[in-house]
Structure formats: C-alpha cells, structure tokens
Structure 1
Amino acid sequence: MRKRFWIPILLIIFGVFFPLLFDIEHVGLHHMIEKLKNNPDGSTLMLTALILVFLNTLRALPHYLGALLLGDALGRKYNRPILKIAVPVVIIPAVYLLINSYYSMNYHFGGPAILLLLSILFLQLFGRQNMRPLFMSFVFSQLLFGYQWLDIVPALTSFGFGGGEVSVLVKSTSSAIGFENTLSIYSLLFSAVFIVHALVFAVYLTVVEQKWKMRKDLESARLEMVEARSGREALHLVHDLKTPLSLMEGLNSLIQMKTDDPDIQTYTGKISDSIEATSDMVSEILYDEKKNWCSLHTLIEYVRQNKLSESSTIYQFELQAPSDIEIYINKIRMTRAIVNLIDNAGDAVEGQKNAQVVIRSEVHAGIWIGIEDNGPGIKNRDIQKIWNAGFSTKEHPGLGLSFVKNVIEEHGASLDIESEPGVGTTFWIHFPKERTRYEHTDHR
C-alpha cells in the first residue's frame, strides 16, 4: 500500500492510544483545579482552561486528521468524491466508541465532534474537493482548536458541549468561585478567533487554487488554439503539394514511355518510387485515419531522421523485435507520438549526470515499443494527471501526453507507464498481435 495510505492509517491507530499517553494526571490538571478551589484566581482559571483545550486538541488531532486524509486519498484513488466525506464520518465516531469501550475514561463525543464532521462536509464541498491535503489539514487543525474552546463554555453544556469529566469539573469550579461569566467570554472569544481565521484561510486557499487552475486552463486552451491553427495551415500547405506531385508523376510516366534507355528507365523508376512514397506521406498527414503496413525498421529509422539526428542527447537502442515485422499504422502520426515521448524522456534527464534514454522493442503477444529514462521519475499523485491536456510537472503546461495517448488508442494500441521516483520512467506502447504481421505476408 502506498505511503499516502499508510500515514493516515498510522495516525488513526496512534489516535486510539494517544488519550492514554496524555491524560489529566500527566499534565497536572487535577493539581491546578485543586489549587483553584483553594485560591480562586482568574489567571489560574484561564491557564487551566487553555491547558485543557490544548490537551483535548492534541488527543483528538491524530485520528481526526488521519480520517480526513484517508478519505481524501481513497476518494482520489477510486475517483469517488463521496469517500472523502463518508470515510471520516464512519471512522471518527468509531474511534470514540473504541476508546470508551477499552479504556476506563469518558471520551465524550459531543458538540465539537459534530461540528468537526460538519466542517469536513463544508471543506470538501466548498473546496470542490480539490483543496490540497496539506492546506486542508492546517485549516482543520485550527477549526479543531477553536471548537474545543466551546467545550468549556458553561452555557453550552445543555447543548452537548463539554460532557467530558475534566470539562465538567473546570466549568463547575468556575461557577463555584464566581468566574463563570469570565470563562464564557474568553472561551467564546478564543473560539471565534480560531474559527474565523480557519474559514478566512480556507476561502483564501480556495480562491488561490481556483485562480491557478483557471490560468492553467486558459494556457491549455491557448496552446490548443495555436496547435489547431498551425495544424490547419499545415494541412492547406500539404494539400497544395498534391497538385505538383500529380504533375511530376505524369511527366515522369511520359519520359518512361518516350525512351528505351535503360539508365533513364532506372532513374525514372526511382523517381516514381519517391513520388509514390511522398504521396503516401502527404495522404497520412491529410487523413488521420489513413494507415498502411509499415515495418518496425522503417518506423525506427523515420523516428531517427525526425528527432534523434538533430539531438545532442545520446540515445541507446535495444531492439529485440525482428526488424521485418510490420505494424498497421499512420506512420506520420505514430512518429510524432514516439518523438513526443522521447522529448519527454530527454527533458527528464536534462542536465543530469549519467543521463540515459533507451528505446526498446520486444515481441510478446504483439509488439512493444518502450522509451525509458533514468530521470527523477513521476510522483504517484501525478501518474493519473499526466494524460490531461495542459498538465505538466514543468513550469509550463503541455499537450504532449494527451496527444500521444489519443494517437496510440486510434491505432488500437495501448500506452502504459512504469515509474519509480528517483529511478526513472518507462512508457510502453503495445500493438496487439492482430495489428502486426511479418513483412510480405498476409495479415493474420
């Protein structure tokens, strides 16, 4: 199980045992309350209240935070936003029940706990379930501290606040020494300060996140428009090439008909082959759906010509698949897709010592083409995001991997990724057996 699941689970387990480690005897609360009874003093009362609130916050924080983070992780992994709310709602009361069942203490599930569960619902809905876990944890911690102050407001006891043994003792002591109103005013004031600060911070973070996402979407849209415009212009230019190619083919055929010179026949034959190859390339550019049988050797050489011959990066080839095996592809678009993956690999190892990019090919239930780098790898949380148009781990957004994935799937193939942070990344293109054949054989 990944680290993002282990940390919340450990926090929840730690939260079950934490109340035993920090009870009122360890922090000297009983001694302070006895001192307060014998020598009534407002400062001592507020210090006692502060220690109690801090203690309650410290004891509750691990399992509350663990439940919140676990729900967030499960919701993201399974793309089920409801889990971000349901998991804390189930786990938090269960922890209270477990603590009260096994320990001889009154771990009260009262007003603050209910308010915190409602706050989880608010944070997930208001933040559109996209607030980063670190920011959400910070906001949640402030809310927890603010709500705990409500536990020692005497007037709120009848509403389910402060039902724990020590909270009741502090409130009854404040009434006995005549400081009930003072305790209520300061407790409500501190509670309001932390709750308002948490809400303002949550609003600020949400706005910042939305602005960042909006800028990213706008940049992505701009890149799509530029690519679409460039694509249309290129298509017009390529379409215009059809006319001179047809004229060249006609004139070349006329020359072949007018002479019997074997040398000229040889030259015109080569010209005819070149014109036919160029015409096929033009057709593949103009029509995305146009595909032909292309040998693996031809595809790799075409990739070399379009990218590797102009690159300063050293690339290694480990081609285990037979070079005469053929794949049913649009050579132009498939080359663009592979070159894009190679570009990404080159970017990943840029400026790195012992940088290495390996292009592999293997035969196993079809053809596999792999592009491997020994760069920093891709973080687990980014694996599913890399296919989104506009997403990039670099400073600028890109359209590359979304384009690559679309091209691969258009060919009835699949694109897989293997990545380990600190080790490197490998992209695998898999052409199933029915999309391959050996050269000069019928498709099987």
Structure 2
Amino acid sequence: MDAENLMQEKKYMISALVLFITSILWPIITEAVWFNIVVQIREAINTGDSGQLILASATSSILFTTQNTLLFLSVVVGGRLLLNQWILKENILLIVQITCFVMLNIIISKMLSIPWEPITTIVAMISSCYLIRKGRRQSHYFFQSTVVSIQVFFAFQWLNIMPIFSVYRFGQSDIPISIKIAGVYLNSSSVLNFIGFSFFIPLFFSAVITSTLFQSHAQNIAIVKENYLKERALESMKTKAMGNRVYLEINSLAHDLKTPLVTIRGLNSLLLISGNQEKLQDYCNKIENAVEKMSEMVTSFLYGSSRQKMKVEKLITYIRAQIPVEDEKLKLEIDIEEGLSEIYVNKVRVVRALINLIENAIIVPCNDTYKKIIIEVKGFMGGIRISIIDNGMGIKPSDLPHVWEIGHSTNNTTGLGLPFAKQIIEENDGKIEIASILEEGTRVNVFFPSVDREIEE
C-alpha cells in the first residue's frame, strides 16, 4: 500500500471519528435550544398561538436532522474506508452501514438518554443510502452524501410532528408527542399535518433531483475522461503510425540512393583499369552526375521547401522506374499529352506522394482477372493534371469524406498513404481530389500549376 493511500485512509478514519464524536456531543451542545422548544410549546398553549407550535416543530426537526446527519455521515465515511480496502462488497456494505447506524442510535439513546425516532430515522437512512449508492467511488461523494442526507433527514423529521401518522408509531419521543398534544389542544392538528406535508414533499423530491443531478454529473465526467483517454490513445497510435511512415519513406530514399552509389562504385573501378583519356573524362562526368543526383535527392528529402523546375515527363519516367511491372496480373498504361509546361515541385517528395497513390491503387482488390492502372497526364486549367485510375472495388460513398483522415483505411492498411500524399501535394501548391464508383473503380486527380502560372501569381 503506497503512502498516498495510507494518507487517504487516515483522513477517512479521522473524519469518521470527528463526525461520530460531534453527533454524540450535539445534544449536549444544543441543550439550551432543546429547553427553548419546551418553552415555545408552553407559550403556544398559554397564548393559543399555533405559530409558536410551528416554530417549535421546525426547531426540533433541525436539531434531529443535524444529529442524524452527523451520525449518518460518520457511518458513510467509515463505509468508504472499508470499500477502498475491498473488505466488503457494496451490497454487504449497505447492510453493515444500516446495522451500524441503528445500533449506534440505540447505544447513544440508552447511554446518554437522548431520544430518537426509530421509524423515520431508519427510513430516512435507507432512502439516503439508496440515493447516493451510485456515487460511492466518486471524488465528490462526501459532498453529495451531505447535501442529499440533510434534505432527506429534514424531510422525514417533519413526519414526526404530524398527528395523522401517530397511529403508525411516528413521533414517539417527548418533543414530537408534546407538539402533537398541544396541536390537539389548540385544534391545530390539521395545520401540523399541512405544514408537515408542505415540508416533506418538496424536500424529499429535492433530494431525489439533487441525487439525479450528481449522478448525471458523475456520468458526464466519466464520459469526458473516457473520451480523453481514447483520444490520447488514438493520437499515440497516429504518432507511431506516422513514425512508421517516415521510416518507410527513409527506406525508399535509401533505395533510390543505392542506384547512383552503384554507378559511382562501378565507374570508379573502371577508372583504375582504364588508360583511355576519353573514357576517363566520360567516367568522371558520369560520376559527377551521379553525385549531383544523390545530392539533389538528399536535399529534396531534408528540405521540404526545396523545389525545382522540371518537365512532367521526367517526373513520370522517374515514377515508372519504381513501379513493380513484373506482376503478370498488373497492366499499367501511361498516357502523357505532348507539349506540357514545366512544374515547380520538390521532386523526391512529390514522386513519393504519387507512388503512394499508385501503390494504393495496386493493392485494392478487383473483380477482374487483372488489375489495370492508368496514369493519365494532361494539361488542365493552366497547369498539369495527373490522374491515377484503377478498376478496383471502389470506395463506399459513406467512406469518401474520411479517406484523408489519418488512420482511416478500407484495405486493412495503416491509413497513412492518402493523408501523406495530400500533405505533400498541398505543400507543393497542388490539389488532390478523389472520385469513386463502388464495384467499378477509383480515380484520383492531382493538379499542379505550371511554372508560368506560378510566376504570374
């Protein structure tokens, strides 16, 4: 058991003890007030003023309520301590609390000669336990118990001064009996019954409403906490998934860098055995081109804002070299319009984005015997439109608005390909849109402005 739990249990023990001692001392502390109630009853009889009788009823109800609430809260806090230690289950705990409450009332009444009302007190205690039962493990449980129990005990104490309930053994202690006898003497029994109901009904229903509000508040907090934890878990998953995507992109870059490295190594070995000056010059030029290509790749990958002018045909050729055409069930068609203007993009990143889109099109299942991918490149509204068309299963209309969300996938993948592609394309002043027909296929359109248009803007 850690130090925090020990401190909490110590706090519960001290609180329960303080409440219990206060409930015992309460009749002694308020002895003068009890005596004043007797005086008010006598004045009511002597003067015929039923108002004094009502005032005496209210005072006695407040005193009984305070004592019973203090004792009840001491039992509640003690029960919370037992519940935290898992000594008792909640249903058994309720029985133990009721038993302890009744026994303590009997002991205090016998030892200190303090009157108590068994029926209304026990019924009020059971009602309070029922109303606060769902908040036992909430942080505001003590506050909830206090507010609800005060209303419940105060409501039931008013039943003790109602002559109509005397036949049911309500109000059998000295003060309530004196009030009811005085009421009969003053012909005010109906007044006492009316006042009793007027306080009992609003107070009891107020306790029920208060308890419901506390429970609703606790449920709302629980839902908010649950949603917060789910959100954090989802963010963590997205972060990990994005980390995996970055790792894959680095692997792809490493694969792209391998080709010029092999070229450099091969040419370097030829330099060692070649004596021809012309060939040496040619090899040196090729090595220089390979190094420049590597430098361009690294710069483009490390600096997203690094862009250069390039012909779209060169971009597509670079992409074409990285598509797995050895698959016999894959048919790839590339349709490039002639005379297209140049675009201004980060070559490495845009290539990776377009390859992601093509890979998505490849892995989507289809009903045909072969997968057909069409890459269509045409001029469009002062720029270039690259369309990737497949004959896959298509996307449900309900899923289309969510395809750009991180983690959303219809193919049991990470759900990062499309969001990654969209981000890269938009970073290069491009636009991307997707259209799909279920069971027929999907078309992804990527638009880049031409160099001339960017200069004009």
Report what 2:18 is aligned to: 10
In 2, the alpha carbon distance for the partners of 1:86 and 1:145 equals 23
In structure 1, stretches of 5+ residues that fail to align are 260-444
Mean Cα deviation higher: 32-41 or 169-178:
32-41
SS at match of 1:110: helix
Root mean square deviation of aligned Cα: 3.4
Q: Take 1:134 and 1:84, find their aligned partners in 2: how far apart are those partners?
A: 20
Q: Which moved more, 1:191-200 or 1:178-187?
A: 191-200
CA contact (8 A) 1:9 1:66 kept: yes
SS at match of 1:28: helix
Which residue number corresponds to residue 174 of structure 1? Answer: 183
Aligned counterpart for 1:47 among listed residues 49, 55, 72: 55
1:180-259 matched pairs, under 5 angstroms: 180-239=189-248, 241=250
Q: Quick one: distance in 2 between partners of 1:45 and 1:51?
A: 10
Displacement after TM superposition at 1:25 (Å): 6.7
Q: Is the 8 A contact 1:11 1:63 kept in 2?
A: yes
Secondary structure of the structure 1 residue equivalent to 2:221? helix
SS in 2 for 1:3: helix
Q: For the residues of structure 1 that align with 2:181 and 2:170, how far apart are their CA atoms? A: 14
Q: Which residue of 2 aligns with 1:362?
A: none
Letter in 1 for 2:224: R
Following TM superposition, by how much is the alpha carbon of 1:126 offset from its aligned partner in structure 2, in angstroms?
Answer: 7.5
Question: Post-superposition shift, 1:129?
Answer: 6.3
Deviates more, 1:91-100 or 1:25-34: 25-34
Q: What's the offset of the Cα at 1:60?
A: 1.9
Asked if 1:92 corresponds to 2:101, the answer is yes
State the alpha-carbon separation in 1 of the partners of residues 34 and 210 from structure 2.
34
State the distance in 2 between where 1:121 and 1:27 align.
35
Distance 1:95 1:227 in 2: 53
**Which of 79, 89, 92 pairs up with 1:71?**
79
In structure 2, the residue matched to 1:58 is 66
Cα distance, 1:223 vs. partner? 2.0
Residues in 1 aligned to 2:227 and 2:39: alpha-carbon distance in whole angstroms: 62
Correspondence for 1:364: none
CA offsets per residue over residues 206-227 of structure 1, 9 Å max, x none? 2222222212222221221121
Q: How much has 1:26 moved relative to structure 2?
A: 4.6
Aligned pair partner of 2:164 in 149, 155, 171: 155
**Structure 1 contact 8–66 (Cα < 8 Å) conserved:** yes
Is the CA contact (8 Å cut-off) linking 1:15 and 1:63 kept in structure 2? yes
**Cα separation, 2, equivalents of 1:121 and 1:161:** 22
Q: What does the per-residue CA deviation read over 1:363-414, in whole Å, with 9 as the maximum and x for residues that have no partner?
A: xxxxxxxxxxxxxxxxxxxxxxxxxxxxxxxxxxxxxxxxxxxxxxxxxxxx
Q: TM-score, normalised by structure 1?
A: 0.51
Give the Cα–Cα distance (whole angstroms) in 2 for the partners of residues 199 and 127 of structure 1: 16
CA apart distance, 1:24: 6.8
The structure that has the greater radius of gyration is 2
CA-to-aligned-CA distance 1:313-348 (integer Å, 9 cap, x gap): xxxxxxxxxxxxxxxxxxxxxxxxxxxxxxxxxxxx
Structure 1 residue aligned with 2:313: none
Partner of 1:231, secondary structure, is helix
**Residues in 2 aligned to 1:65 and 1:106: alpha-carbon distance in whole angstroms:** 19
Partner of 2:153: 144
In the superposition, the TM-score normalised over structure 2's length comes to 0.50
Alignment partner of 2:44 out of 14, 36, 42: 36
Q: Deviations over 1:157-178 (max 9, x none)?
A: 2323212121111112111221
What is the CA-CA distance between 1:247 and the residue it aligns to?
10
Structure 2 gap segments, 5+ residues each = 1-8, 269-457
Q: Residue 203 and residue 139 in structure 1: after superposition, are their counterparts in 2 closer, same or farther (change >3 A)?
A: same
Partner of 1:21: 29
Q: Which amino acid aligns with 1:100?
A: S
Call closer, same or farther: CA 1:88–1:212 in 2, change over 3 Å: same
2:171 match: secondary structure:
coil
Count the aligned residue pairs.
259
